[in-house]
Amino acid sequence: MNEFRRDPVSWIVRRGAPAAALIALIALAIRIAIHGLTNDDTFFHLRIGDEFLRGRWDLDEPGSLTSYGTRDWVPTQWLSEVVMAGAEDLAGTGGIVWLFGTIFVAYALTLYAVARISAPPIVAILVAGAAFVGSGGGLSARPQVMSYLFAALVTAAWLGTMRDGRVRWWIIPLTWLWAMLHGMWPVAIVISAVGAVGVVADRRPERGQALRILSLPLLALVAAFLTPLGPRLVVEILTVTSRGKYFFEWGPTDFHAFQPAVLVLLLAISLIAMLRAGPARWTHLLLLLLAGAWALYALRTIPLAAAIAAPCAALALGELAPKGPRIDRRGALTLVALGAAASAVLAFLSSGAHTVGPDRPDWADAELDKLPAATGVLNAWDWGGYLAWRHPDLDFVVSGYGDVFTTGELDRNVALTEAHHGWLDDLEGLHVEVALLAPDSDLAYGLEHTAGWTVVRSSDEMVLLHAPE
């Protein structure tokens, strides 16, 4: 209070405004979580996790969400999925809301913490807020959020090594854990390789120390190979990545959209600040350029780019800001306490009503519940995850989980969904007699007016059709 009385404006800028903004950022993370479970991918992760949790599937030979997907796949996110299924077991869908709300809050606080290492509070919260908003497109109840959090930590670790020369060996066990949580774990290797080269270029250590620094990315890769799935993880990641054309989020980044535009602004300001501060250090420059490369790569990697950009931006802007104390043990404990408090609030809020699944009429689940087990159902692509989770005894044709489909089956799914040339032949090969689709879709129109299917139930959101006798 004495500081406030002496210079209230300075106190507001240095302490009051950053603290209020941090609380607002936490509130934003909570709001995103309690909006509900609306991303269809959430549900196939829950279904897969439940299969592993109950012992019905094995890591070496997992089953499939559908008999219409016959690819031999590798479960690259099995640990996250088991944790998700366990949370659902304990507290229903509210447990998932709480779990990912807590992760969202942890991600926001991590962005702030890694920014505070290099920048004063006002700069750190601006950087953290921009990075969190830039990540917005990826903030849903999916394992990928852990990849964003870990990417920020690994980037900050290499910037720390740039400053003091101390190698953060904890990146190796972190990569081991990451490789069981989400398929973006190779990002740890990429960041570490870039960071190691930059540190060697900046610090010019003796040969032995240089080799130790450069060995970390290789040792992290070895750690990933020591997970239960071993080297198969690499083959699976390369295979899945090569099929990006089938999925919107792997498409090119639209920099006219809000989140990518925020990220570009953050990167541009950071680069300008870096150049103004004097000769750029290689580690800093290379990691910032890596963030830019991920931003250019695909829409899906925009949040990843934001996570990497946060500590880089804070370092660039922090060098132009007035010097002052950076985050210390007390500050870190304060962030932990804030995270725990936010998690407690989420535990209360998640017990209330929240959205689960796509917009649908009351009759949709009831009609599907009437169908005999193993009935094949032709469904809309965007509902495949929810339907496989809510009706695990039925056999849905299409799902957003492309890992379980061969390339030919993905081509078939696209042809059916968009009623492309040859879709009637594909339909005949499926031997399905029920369809649940969007009423304004090309496929629903084709089934009714070309294939002679009958509309049984209809609403603004869904139409249920039966095949002709």
Q: What is the pLDDT of residues 133-154, one digit of tens each?
A: 999 999 999 999 999 999 999 9
Give the span between the Cα atoms of 195 and 254, in whole angstroms. 28
Provide the mean pLDDT of the chain: 94
- Nearest partner of 131 among 324, 340, 312, 316, judged by Cα: 312
Give the span between the Cα atoms of 375 and 192, in whole angstroms. 48
When pLDDT is averaged across residues 411-420 and rounded to a whole number, the result is 92
Q: What percent of the chain has pLDDT over 70?
A: 97
- Nearest partner of 265 among 126, 125, 116, judged by Cα: 126
Residues in the chain: 469
Which residue has 């009385």 as its token pair?
A: 5
When pLDDT is averaged across residues 450-455 and rounded to a whole number, the result is 96
- Nearest partner of 430 among 449, 448, 445, 417, judged by Cα: 417
Alpha helices (H) along 359-440: 363-369, 384-390, 407-417, 423-430
Backbone torsions φ then ψ of 376, nearest 5 degrees: -80, 130
Work out the pLDDT band at 6, boundaries 50, 70, 90.
Answer: low
Model's pTM, two decimal places? 0.95
Please give the distance of CA 76 from its chain centroid, rounded to a whole number: 14
Asked if residue 283 lies in contact with residue 198, where contact means CB atoms within 8 angstroms, the answer is yes
- pLDDT of the residue at 320: 86
